[in-house]
Amino acid sequence: MVIDYVNFSKRIKEKQYEPIVLLEGEEPFYVDKLTKMIQETFFATEAEKDFDYQLFYGNEVTINQIIDISKQFPMMGAKRLVVVRGAQVLEKKIADLLSYVKNPQKQTVLVLAFTEGKKMDGKLAVYKEIVKNGLVFRSDKIYDNKLAPHVMNLAKEKKLTISSREIDLLIAQIGNNLSRINKELDKLENVVPNGQPIDSKIIETYIGINREYNMFELARAILARDTAKAFAITDYFIENPGKYTPVVPFVNIFNVFYKLLQYYYLPERLSAGGQEQNEILKKLGVFWTDYSIYKAAINYYPLPKIVTILHHIRHYSMLSKGANGWQGNEIDLVRELTWKILTI
């Protein structure tokens, strides 16, 4: 059975397992998270864990050893747990697991964790058999424009009260790295009292992200055509290079103009009233304080300009990755792109 993260988490909490569990996919964060959840909650007592738990790493074990261990009966509790982390290392031999997967030991739960963003070949007979007799979680790649809802869910799991604006601020500085974002949320969980809303001042204090001078605020300033603020931010980056650390340098600028493009192409906005337009922007993932900025930006940036800007952003993004042999200071690219957009 192929299962999603929410339902898999529920099964783990209710201790409902199949004999074979496969965790895989391009987004390693959820594979690691689910593996850890299984390891921490599977056993009722430490005594059971001492006798009935085996952890292997793919580069230190063979398929035959995994099968032999998995066939053993539990000594203390009702079930044994066998976890193989880095199981992708065994993929060339993984077909040898087929006979066991067809007839697994019912009192053992064998967890195969494909780490480092790897996944099993879906065409293999062993994969199809795991789907039939076990549980499969595939963690798909999370694209930048889909990251915010995942971060919001992580915050909710930790019972943190945080707005989408502050989440955008985290993403602007940290980039598409759920593991790092999760660590920063853990930090906030430990220092912020339950129920206290997390605002940009708290983020600046405990995480060190400047609430006024960051890529998120630069993107907003460019969209609002606030030239003074935009260049003040780029000047801040130039004067304080250690404060400029975005993993994906131009993603925030791209996102605001991509949302503007989506907004432009929605015909219902033309006949919608103010509140209805706000609902449209909300569905596009725009924070409520930015509604007026997007409405005004339509006048600053008609469709041909939006298309040209998106082209410029992609061009500078490629340069920052070394295209055309470019080598230099990334901050200079940020400033040059800012100038191009504001003078278009």
Q: What is the pLDDT along the chain (344 residues), one digit of tens a residue?
A: 888 888 888 889 888 889 999 999 998 999 999 999 999 998 888 888 889 999 999 888 889 999 999 999 988 888 899 999 998 988 888 888 888 999 999 999 999 999 988 988 888 888 889 998 899 999 988 877 678 888 888 988 888 888 888 888 888 777 778 888 899 899 888 888 877 888 878 887 888 777 788 888 899 999 999 999 999 999 988 888 877 766 667 888 888 899 899 888 887 766 677 788 888 888 887 877 788 899 889 889 999 999 999 999 999 888 888 787 777 788 888 899 999 999 88
pLDDT at 111: 93
Q: What are the Cα distances from residue 19, in Å, to 131, 278, 341?
A: 11, 49, 56
| CA gap 239, 153 in Å, rounded | 36
> Quick one: which of 34, 40, 25, 32 has its CA closest to 7?
34
**According to the model, what pLDDT value does residue 71 have?**
92
Shortest CA distance to 278 belongs to which of 291, 265, 261, 263?
A: 291
pTM: 0.70
Q: How many residues does the chain have?
A: 344
Write down the pLDDT at residue 141: 85
Task: Kindly report the number of other CB atoms within 10 A of residue 198's CB atom.
Answer: 21
State the pLDDT at residue 246.
67
- 3-state SS, the chain, equals CECCHHHHHHHHHCCCCCCEEEEEECCHHHHHHHHHHHHHHCCCCHHHHHHHEEEEEHHHCCHHHHHHHHCCCCCCCCCEEEEEECHHHHHHHHHHHHHHHHCCCCCEEEEEECCCCCCCCCCCHHHHHHHHHCEEEEECCCCHHHHHHHHHHHHHHCCCEECHHHHHHHHHHHCCCHHHHHHHHHHHHHHCCCCCEECHHHHHHHCCCCCCCCHHHHHHHHHCCCHHHHHHHHHHHHHCHHHCCCCCCCHHHHHHHHHHHHHHCCCHHHHCCHHHHHHHHHHCCCCHHHHHHHHHHHHHCCHHHHHHHHHHHHHHHHHHCCHHHCCCCHHHHHHHHHHHHHCC
Q: How many CA atoms lie within 13 A of 231 on its CB side?
A: 9
Burial environment of residue 60 by CB neighbours within 10 A (0 to 12, 13 to 18, 19 or more): exposed
Q: What's the confidence (pLDDT) of residue 270?
A: 64
Q: Which pLDDT does position 310 carry in this prediction?
A: 93
**For residue 5, what pLDDT is reported?**
87
Task: Say how far apart CA 74 and CA 54 lie, in whole Å.
Answer: 11
Q: How far is it, in rounded angstroms, from Cα 95 to Cα 63?
A: 9
What are the residues facing 295 on neighbouring strands? none
